Structure 1
């Protein structure tokens, strides 16, 4: 029996949320982002008509579409609306995977015995829009890859069904860019040898692709041929990200403690970005040599940027460390997590900062976390100086 896999994607999710709060923004070119040197987190179809795209520098977007209105994003509201949709989907679906803040996979295999899969999915999408006010597209097919590609082809407000016998017919004429795992580098590499559509990619021997792009070559060939056995993984929210360090010898060396805090924050923030989490609360824990333990925490705007989280963590440590006593253990934790990528959080940061994070994460993913780390930071020096002054008093 063929699987029945649904991919559901909220159309221009950030834009739709902003318009819910302010209906006067309906029908006009709209950009969700922030600052002249920031980047586009999302944009309306009216803005896309002029060539505006997500992750594009705001200044470039405004050159393409000067009449566009730029609105700062509210991640807390976005998270609230995402949770509303999640609740509806989970209450009605047998097996759900929440892939990001605005997209879901559903496995409804076998439902045709009782109720048409397409009819059921169509009714669910109408329920979501009616109860949340958010437009949503979906596609139903035999696996995740085909369903996701079909959702993109059907937007906005699309509702496609690609049956098993039509998978190759549907995929063949499409650009290889439509395959989720193909980035700019892989696309350029394949284009140079004449592989630009999925049909050509599917006809290329898997061994050739493997020799060109490594272990992902075989997986790419499978996707081009409509083969994807990846299961729908049940959605579970992670409550926190945390780490601790216990010193072999109790210490009062403030500079070394501050460096350790920044290292832990950098690792946790990299994990958050890798798993597509945004953080709203940072907590610091101190355990003294007499085993007394103290904690403090503070909320922040949703982010996964270690330069923001590190500064806050050191400020919390400065506030918490009031005893002139040696420290046995230091801990850092992130809570209040919501699904989202770093690009979604670029409402304050510049395009240069985004490029830096992308480059560092790419190196870490390829060569390991220790391959590249941050150097000294001005906020670190400032906090250390505050600690030194206080401890000398």
Structure 2
């Protein structure tokens, strides 16, 4: 085997594919990497392709060419779907009834989180064999910093990543997509450019030009509400942010303005932190007696939402997803998730997301535990931006902030909302 030339690599044979042509001169593969900064970039984002659906297809080869949706029945939502289903317009978080309207022949499979977690752990082990600097973002994605690994792996980070993707595919029979760049923001952006089984690169020289034409929503933390606010100011593309001074964006948009200015210019100084902050904040309670009644469960849910909110505020974090956890009287654990339009710290927003999830599950079954959590954590500066579509949101935020101040001064029980006033029956240890 020859050594790949700097800035050129065949992803299959890991040799030099030659300076030109659409196929590798050594093995004939079309999966080639050619980039002027290829041997100088070491920050990566690895994302498993259609993770849940890929595992189900792996375990049932008869599904290989079928549109597969992993989700929660007609009243639930799509957890993930395979790329065949995506051709019909099906997307994650889509209501199941809408997904089945678009793709009526889809094979719908209930999620098996224990199985997915096991495969996620196996992927994580292979990543850690590659570099100790692995920062998980979720069960199926992580940042990796491969700086300084050239001597250990006898090749550039790009070559090591190509080998890692091949090992995952060979050992676990699932595929991954990789983004390679010089910082975390651009590495994550790159990993979405060439799915599935992709490997995309964004270098320093091209970053500003690449970002200029992209919508502002590409910037991490810019949700729908902030996009609307930026659009009112005539800013819809990142290139328009590149012309604004950082101080001006800070004055106009608060602390998020710093991120807007820096990410728009391809600047991100965050390091990969394998021992970083918790990926979720949660609270749960186990009942003394099993409960089936939705009203009772709902009254217990609210103070748990308040507890999660309080912990988020204390940690100066905001959550982008809400997770409901239930344990049945037969000790079956159910988890249901909802992605929020914008990250939040507010108990009211957490409760409004969790309550419909609880309503769908409270179908007469008896439960012995309920919990709620907030995931996809990010800086508190991104929490609860103005929402033009919900003018009452600002009032709810002000009310909750006022209640927080009173509780800080007079104690947690000094003031309560009505839904939390009636003590639930069957409450237990927390």
Q: TM-score range by the shorter chain?
A: 0.5 to 0.7
Are residues 1:219 and 2:259 paired?
A: yes
Q: Rate the CA distance shift 1:374–1:211 in 2: closer, same or farther, 3 A.
A: farther
93, 100, 124: which one aligns with 1:86: 124
CA distance in structure 2 between the aligned counterparts of 1:35 and 1:379, rounded to whole angstroms: 33
Matching of residues 150-169 of structure 1 within 5 Å: 150-169=190-209
Q: Partner residue of 1:199? A: 239
| 1:191, distance to aligned residue in structure 2 (A) | 3.0
Q: Partner residue of 2:78? A: 40
| 1:156, distance to aligned residue in structure 2 (A) | 1.3
CA distance in structure 1 between the aligned counterparts of 2:266 and 2:421, rounded to whole angstroms: 48
| 1:54, distance to aligned residue in structure 2 (A) | 1.4
Q: Rate the CA distance shift 1:119–1:264 in 2: closer, same or farther, 3 A.
A: same
CA distance in structure 1 between the aligned counterparts of 2:244 and 2:73, rounded to whole angstroms: 45
163, 188, 191: which one aligns with 1:148: 188
TM-score by length of 2: 0.62
Q: Partner residue of 1:301? A: 334
Q: Which runs of 5+ in 2 are unaligned?
A: 1-38, 286-296, 313-317, 338-353, 378-391, 405-415
CA distance in structure 2 between the aligned counterparts of 1:366 and 1:96, rounded to whole angstroms: 40
The structure with more helix, counted as a fraction of residues: 1
Contact 2:50 2:81 in 1 (8 A): yes
Are residues 1:115 and 2:159 paired?
A: no
Q: Partner residue of 1:188? A: 228
Which digits, 9 at most, give the CA deviation of each residue in 1:316-341, with x for residues without a partner?
59xxxxxxxxxxxxxx999xx9x977
Are residues 1:58 and 2:96 paired?
A: yes
SS state at 1:99 partner: strand
CA distance in structure 1 between the aligned counterparts of 2:280 and 2:267, rounded to whole angstroms: 34
CA distance in structure 1 between the aligned counterparts of 2:90 and 2:218, rounded to whole angstroms: 18
CA RMSD of aligned residues (A): 4.6
CA distance in structure 2 between the aligned counterparts of 1:100 and 1:19, rounded to whole angstroms: 21
Q: Partner residue of 2:250? A: 210
Matching of residues 295-374 of structure 1 within 5 Å: 298=331, 300-303=333-336, 316=368
125, 133, 136: which one aligns with 2:176: 136
Q: Partner residue of 1:73? A: 111
Are residues 1:15 and 2:53 paired?
A: yes
Q: Partner residue of 2:291? A: none
Q: Partner residue of 2:3? A: none
SS state at 2:142 partner: strand
Q: Rate the CA distance shift 1:122–1:235 in 2: closer, same or farther, 3 A.
A: farther
Q: Which runs of 5+ in 1 are unaligned?
A: 245-257, 283-296, 318-331, 343-358, 388-393
